[in-house]
Amino acid sequence: MPDASSIRRRVIVHGRVQGVFFRDSTRRRAESRGVAGWVTNRPDGAVEAVFEGDPDAVESMMRFVREGPGRASVDEVEVFDEQPEGLRGYQVR
Domains, the chain, ordered by start: 7-92 (3.30.70.100)
Question: If you compute the radius of gyration of the chain from its CA atoms, what whole number of angstroms results?
Answer: 12
Annotated active-site residue in 41, 42, 63, 66: 41
Annotated active-site residue in 23, 28, 33, 66: 23
DSSP H helices, 1-93, are: 22-33, 55-67
Tell whether the model's pLDDT for residue 1 goes beyond 60. Answer: no
How does pLDDT run across 15-42, given as a tens digit for each residue?
Answer: 999 999 999 999 999 999 999 999 999 9
Coil vs helix vs strand at 29:
helix
Query: Is 41 among the catalytic positions?
Result: yes
Neighbours of 43 (CB within 10 A): 5
| Secondary element (H or E) of residue 92 | strand 90-92
Residue type at position 47: V
pTM, to two decimals: 0.94
Query: Is 71 among the catalytic positions?
Result: no
